[in-house]
Amino acid sequence: MKVGFRCGLIPVHIIILMLIGLFACNNSVNRDISPGISAFTDVLDYKANPDSPYDRNWLAFSDQGAWFAYGFPDTSEKLAGFAGPFIMTQENGIWSSKSLSKLKLTYTDSGKEVCLSDFKVTTTGNLSHLEQKFSDDEIDILQSLFYVSPQTSFFVSGITNKGNKPIQFNAEITGDLLSEYLNISSDESRVYVDSDKSDARGTIQVFNNKILSVSSSDTTYSFILHGIELAPDSSIDILISQTFTFREMDIDEEQDLILSLTGNYDEFRRNREGQKFDILNKLKAKTSGIYNSSAYSTLLAKSVLTLQNNWRVPAGELRYSGLFPSYHYIWFHGFWAWDSWKHAVALTLYDPVLAKDQIRAMYDFMDDKGFIADCIYRDTTIENHNYRNTKPPLSAWAVWKVFESDYDTSFLQEMYPKILKQHNWWYKHRDHDSDGLCEYGSSDGTLIAAKWESGMDNAVRFDNSKLLKNSENAYSLDQESVDLNSYLYAEKLYIRSIASILGKEIDADKFGIQAKDLGYMIRNQFYDSISGWFFDTSINGKNFTGDMGCEGWIPLWAEVADKGQAENVMKNMMDTLHFNTCVPLQTLSASHSKFKPDRGYWRGPTWLDQAYFGVCGLRYFGFDMEADSLTMKLLHNAEGLLEKGSSIRENYNPITGEGLESENFSWSAAHYLLLLTEN
């Protein structure tokens, strides 16, 4: 019974690879990362100074699957508040405000505003909360922001009198809007933020201080609070809640939660912080060899934060939690099929519950025939679900990995019939000549959607492809793809394993036989003994496409290649003329005439999912030294990856290491977690 792919332990010789300079693209990268807790803080740069609702120059922090996020305000402005929130329920993400809730203090005796421009400002980004501190000789203002639920954040301002005389303040909470599609209203105790483009409503409340008055215009508001008197060495907290709910959510239940936490919010924050450190320590315990060193603690934290910031709870048409590919990119505010399978595998390392929901979210959009939508969204008035194509079959891999993490057979029982239906769909609707080898295709008869179905949208191997009609709403490319059939081979083995666990021995035997037959066809049709590579072929299997791309090592990941084939593929992977570049295992051989490493998308850049498949394939066939060498380059030569501040990118330039395309990209983070913990 197959129980998963092998990514073995690091051998002793890996110590040699500590000579990182051998692999560096340049010598400018600072790799002096401090050990301990400090390695887990400030790993992403959340400074944000949006000049319009649509300003995408900034990263943002969120937690608990919230649909809104925050940053630190520009330190030059020294605002006693947090930037945002960045709201992801409207127009695929907008900044609602430079700072929706700002604290303003004035001295009661003089009426003079406490001017923060003379204060020292420090900020700290944690996995559980954001924190900023304003200090001068007399006053400390310590502000923290954390999520108490997916709908509500708490914003605490702790004011401390450090002097030797009492101080009296008048306090005010103010805010204003950036977007013309948002508007403010208020009643005697609350401020509301409503939208012309979304049914989500924001509610702002103040606790731990008596409200004297509330006022608002269409775009501004103000809470005037009861005067504050602080004796020397005494403190007071002002608590603000910001809540963003959808119509389908129980607002009264959320309010009960808020009220229940107003007396012990600090304990809640500390507990949340402890939970986050538990996650990081759990992940660190899964690393071994040099990957257990402090040099990789920052990357662990950065990867977890990337997934955390892209996490969304059910809302609108999405009935299960899951991860965006990237909240940062305007068109990635939804769930994608093969992204979801990959996210789920990484999530099993520390959150199998979320991993299961990520899988359920996509299967919730499978039709009666077994077709799974390519991508799905909360609000289809903004973006329609994509039923034009599906994505490569990796769900059984994800389900099996979930099972390996918690041995929950009930989840296998839940997913098994769905996996069968999805698996069989490929042979009914994407096997044009009924020869047992499938093709990528589309449901709407367009060539572009058929290319999308591969996940490698503009890959060179599809440059001369044409479309063939199989049946109504079912079309195939005129080529059989080696990666697709290798994925299907692996899926058959995973189905066999699941069937065995569930006591379905007839199914297990059937899929074992099918895998054996398919494996024979893959090894004989797609492998070119002259070049030592696996290629797509014409639909009749007689001609190779001739493009040496990353699909050529998927038979190693799927464990379908024979030993001799794997060895020749390995040699090509390690060849600097082909795939052993600065950031290796890119999508197209560096020697190809169409190789475009700079923003070529699937025509040259390095994608971490494909690189991970390549590394795991090498490990399965015992090429550990080669896998270690490539892994080190993937870790150390990707721009900013091991440094604090920089986000994890969608893909990387394989020649220079430059980060490309979307920032804060989930599957890159997911596969970096897997590379660190499976070695």
585/4: higher pLDDT: 585
Residues near 167 by beta carbon (within 8 Å), at least 6 away in sequence = 107, 138, 139, 161, 229, 230
- pLDDT, residue 22, reads 40
Concatenated DSSP letters for 390-438?
Answer: ---S-HHHHHHHHHHHH--HHHHHHHHHHHHHHHHHHHHHS-TT-SS--
Band (pLDDT 50/70/90 cuts) for residue 573 is very high
Where is average pLDDT lowest: 8-12, 215-219, 394-398, 657-661?
Answer: 8-12
- Give the pairing of strands 68-73 and 47-48: parallel
Band (pLDDT 50/70/90 cuts) for residue 78 is confident
pLDDT digits (tens, 9 = 90+) for 421-464: 999 999 999 999 999 999 999 999 999 999 999 999 999 999 99
Query: What is the rounded average pLDDT of the residues 32-57?
Result: 81
pLDDT digits (tens, 9 = 90+) for 134-189: 999 999 999 999 999 999 999 999 999 999 999 999 999 999 999 999 999 999 99
Q: Supply 524's token pair.
A: 């004989």
Q: Judge whether residue 4 has pLDDT over 90.
A: no
Share of the chain above pLDDT 90, in %: 89
Q: Judge whether residue 10 has pLDDT over 70.
A: no
Q: Give the integer Cα–Cα distance in Å for 411 and 629.
A: 37
Closest CA to 133 of 146, 119, 117, 147: 119
- Give the pairing of strands 441-442 and 102-107: unpaired
Question: Peptide bond before 85: cis, by omega within 30 degrees of 0?
Answer: yes
- Which amino acid is present at 527? Y
Q: How far is CA 245 from CA 190, 192, 249, 382, 530, in A?
A: 15, 11, 6, 18, 61
Instruction: Name the CA radius of gyration of the chain, rounded.
Output: 27
Please check whether residue 182 is in contact with residue 216, taking contact to mean a CB–CB distance below 8 angstroms: no
Closest CA to 401 of 84, 37, 673, 197: 673
- Which amino acid is present at 59? L
Q: In what order do the strands lie in the sheet with 68-73?
A: 47-48, 68-73, 83-87, 94-95
**Cα angle 604-606-609, degrees, rounded to a multiple of 5:** 130
Query: What is the rounded average pLDDT of the residues 356-368?
Result: 98
Concatenated DSSP letters for 638-661?
Answer: STTTTSSBPPPPSEE-TTT--EES
- pLDDT, residue 36, reads 52
Concatenated DSSP letters for 291-305?
Answer: GGSGGGHHHHHHHHH
Q: Give the integer Cα–Cα distance in Å for 93 and 66.
A: 13
Q: Give the integer Cα–Cα distance in Å for 271 and 263.
A: 15
- pLDDT, residue 25, reads 55
Q: Give the integer Cα–Cα distance in Å for 501 and 517.
A: 23
Cβ count within 10 A of residue 111: 8
Q: CB burial class (10 A; 0-12, 13-18, 19+) of residue 2? A: middle
- pLDDT, residue 294, reads 84
Q: Judge whether residue 484 has pLDDT over 50.
A: yes
- pLDDT, residue 12, reads 33
Please check whether residue 254 is in contact with residue 152, taking contact to mean a CB–CB distance below 8 angstroms: yes
Q: What does the longest C-alpha to C-alpha distance in the chain come to?
A: 90
Helix (H, G, I), strand (E, B) or coil at 349: coil
Q: Judge whether residue 276 has pLDDT over 50.
A: yes
Location of structure tokens 């403010």: 184
Q: Mind listing the domains of the chain with CATH numbers?
A: 46-272 (2.70.98.50)
Q: Judge whether residue 211 has pLDDT over 80.
A: yes
Band (pLDDT 50/70/90 cuts) for residue 17 is very low
pTM of the model: 0.94
Highest mean pLDDT among 24-33, 35-44, 291-300, 316-325: 316-325
